[in-house]
A and B are shown apart, each in its own frame.
Chain A
Amino acid sequence: MDSHIQMAAEIEATADAARAETKPCLIIREGRGRLGGTMFLDLLIQRAREEGRRVKPLDGDLKSRTLTAIYPAVGIDGEAIGDGASAPASDDIVTLKDWIQGHLNDMTEDRVSRVLDLSGGDRVMQELVLDLRLRSFCHDFGVGLTNVVMLGPDIEDFNHAMDRIRSEDSRGDRVILVLNEGVIRQGQTTEGAFDAIMGHPDFKATLRAGARFVLLKRLSCMPVLRERRISFYDAALGRLDRTGAKVPPTVQHMTKVWLASFEQSVKPMAEWLP
């Protein structure tokens, strides 16, 4: 009995020591695909790095491998790139679980934030939650668990996301509902597109439970930035791209206004982000 108490005290002491250091964030993207989730994660990574904070991208979306393409772990000359994206060896559940668990273990040591992009990874997360009790793990080891729920105008996507959120143990205390204007149809007004969701009792209940919501405005020049492979902040701050050219002034201005608006809207939840 005494040994159990001592062990519990030691675990508590380890957890306290971990909490006393910087608190890394674990961002997990929820919601269905094609709602701009990877783009949002990329924005969070860029935002943190622009402010000099380290973030490791975890790319569990083996179909698109977008984060791996943006943040390669190895350069063309074969040299390792710091904080490049990590990806699992395969998409079977056991491999994915081991991969995520490995990173959770590393997080408790290196105290570096992670963003996790899973494609259709609900099953993996459910199993991980069952095995690990993710929420309490993050609490005990001083990791800030933030769930990012991407929402488009489709009410079915919203219902799916709410089902996941109701699974109490999978989410942290910090949930961000992202209303993505970039995925609404042409000709639809923003308010009209999200009217059903914002009026939904589950939406209000989630907010009352502590979630925050944010409107991610459309950035019409996004294709230009993608084509040039320039980061949002480099474009907005007038830095040169790889070819030595700046983006056109209109693109620079649009990106700058968009980022400033985003920064303003995430102020209330800045502590939840990496």
Chain B
Amino acid sequence: MSDQSTPLRIRKRRLIDYRNRGAIYSWLRAHHARVKSLLETGEATWPRLCAEMERHGVLDRMGAAPTPNPAIKVWRRLCEEMGDLPPVNRFKNYPSRIPKDWRPTVVEPPVPAQTTLPTPIAPGSLIRPPPPRGPGMSLMEKLTGQPDVIRTEPVQDGERDVDAEIAEMRLVMRKRNA
């Protein structure tokens, strides 16, 4: 695998001006075969291709340097028009491919000195859940960026109230379509 920071050094080709199409389209079309082969072999990434376009003096309609997401869209449309399926983006970082012993770098938060005994938790109050079974933050923290809190279940006597659970779900569903 080549160094990701070095330019791709794609040979410049003459660009044809396509009606209603931008310079990115023209460049990708002119270099279609080379780009396709570089993507298939995994040699090129979209940031590198965009850097190469910039090196060739290609700018988007706003006069700015090309960026990956719009370029991918143009590439997909171009491939469709040429009757060519875009190369399959086989995903290398899929969880199954990550080494088993890989762990994210985790910095332990500072622990304040405890001066008093913890107070008993009342039912219905908000508490931090137990730490996740895996390393690092809980999924909820990762996704929301907020400390994960759970509401302690009020003490339940007798049978579970299934009707209330269903009514609550109906309410959630109603809100979805409101």
Residue A123 at the B interface, CB < 8 A? no
Q: Which residues of B contact A47 (CB under 8 A)?
A: 139
Count contacts on B: residues with CB < 8 A to the other chain: 49
Within 8 A of A (CB), among B61-75: 68-69, 72
Q: Known contacts A215-B172, A229-B90, A256-B143: does B166 contact A245 (CB below 8 Å)?
A: no
Within 8 A of B (CB), among A219-274: 227-231, 233-234, 236-237, 239-246, 248, 256, 259-260, 263-264, 267
Q: Of A10-18, A140-148, A161-169, A186-194, which stretch is located at the interface? A: A186-194
Q: Of A33-41, A76-84, A95-103, A130-138, which stretch is located at the interface? A: A76-84
Residue B12 at the A interface, CB < 8 A? no
Chain A residue at minimal CB-CB distance from B146: A260
- Contact at B134–A260, with CB atoms within 8 Å? no
Q: Which residues of B contact A189 (CB under 8 A)?
A: 173, 176-177
B interface footprint on A151-187 (CB within 8 Å = 1, 0 otherwise): 0000000000000000000000000000101000000
Q: Known contacts A208-B159, A245-B69: does B170 contact A82 (CB below 8 Å)?
A: no
Residue A139 at the B interface, CB < 8 A? no
Q: How far is the CB of A65 from chain B (nearest CB, A)?
A: 15
Q: Which residues of B contact A213 (CB under 8 A)?
A: 165, 169
Residue B3 at the A interface, CB < 8 A? no
Residue B9 at the A interface, CB < 8 A? no
Q: Which residues of B contact A50 (CB under 8 A)?
A: 95, 134, 139, 142
- Contact at A243–B45, with CB atoms within 8 Å? yes
Residue A198 at the B interface, CB < 8 A? yes
Residue B100 at the A interface, CB < 8 A? yes
- Contact at A244–B68, with CB atoms within 8 Å? yes
Alpha-carbon separation in the docked complex, A93 to B93 (Å) = 35
Residue B48 at the A interface, CB < 8 A? yes
Residue B5 at the A interface, CB < 8 A? no
Q: How far is the CB of A182 from chain B (nearest CB, A)?
A: 12
Q: Known contacts A50-B95, A81-B97: does B134 contact A191 (CB below 8 Å)?
A: no
Q: How far is the CB of A25 from chain B (nearest CB, A)?
A: 12
A interface footprint on B89-109 (CB within 8 Å = 1, 0 otherwise): 111111111111001000000
- Contact at A215–B134, with CB atoms within 8 Å? no
Q: Known contacts A52-B136, A84-B96, A244-B68: does B91 contact A190 (CB below 8 Å)?
A: no
Alpha-carbon separation in the docked complex, A72 to B94 (Å) = 10
Contact of A244 among B47, B144, B174 (CB under 8 A): B47
- Contact at A70–B94, with CB atoms within 8 Å? yes
A interface footprint on B116-142 (CB within 8 Å = 1, 0 otherwise): 000000000000000011111011101
Q: How far is the CB of A79 from chain B (nearest CB, A)?
A: 10
Q: Which residues of A contact B47 (CB under 8 A)?
A: 244-245
- Contact at B134–A51, with CB atoms within 8 Å? yes
Alpha-carbon separation in the docked complex, A71 to B143 (Å) = 24
Residue B81 at the A interface, CB < 8 A? no
Q: Known contacts A191-B170, A243-B72: does B134 contact A53 (CB below 8 Å)?
A: yes
Contact of B48 among A70, A204, A244, A264 (CB under 8 A): A244
Contact of A52 among B103, B143, B163 (CB under 8 A): B103
Q: Known contacts A83-B96, A228-B91, A264-B140: does B48 contact A191 (CB below 8 Å)?
A: no
Nearest 4 CB-CB pairings of A with B: A244-B45, A52-B134, A51-B134, A229-B91
Q: Which residues of B approach A to under 8 Å, CB–CB? A: 4, 39, 42, 45-48, 68-69, 72, 88-100, 103, 132-136, 138-140, 142-144, 150, 159-160, 162-163, 165-166, 169-170, 172-174, 176-177
Q: Which residues of A approach B to under 8 Å, CB–CB? A: 45-47, 49-54, 70-72, 75-76, 81-84, 179, 181, 189-191, 194, 198, 203-204, 207-208, 213, 215, 217, 227-231, 233-234, 236-237, 239-246, 248, 256, 259-260, 263-264, 267
**What would 6 more interface pairs be, CB under 8 Å, given A47-B139, A51-B138, A229-B91?**
A46-B95, A83-B96, A179-B169, A237-B142, A242-B93, A263-B140
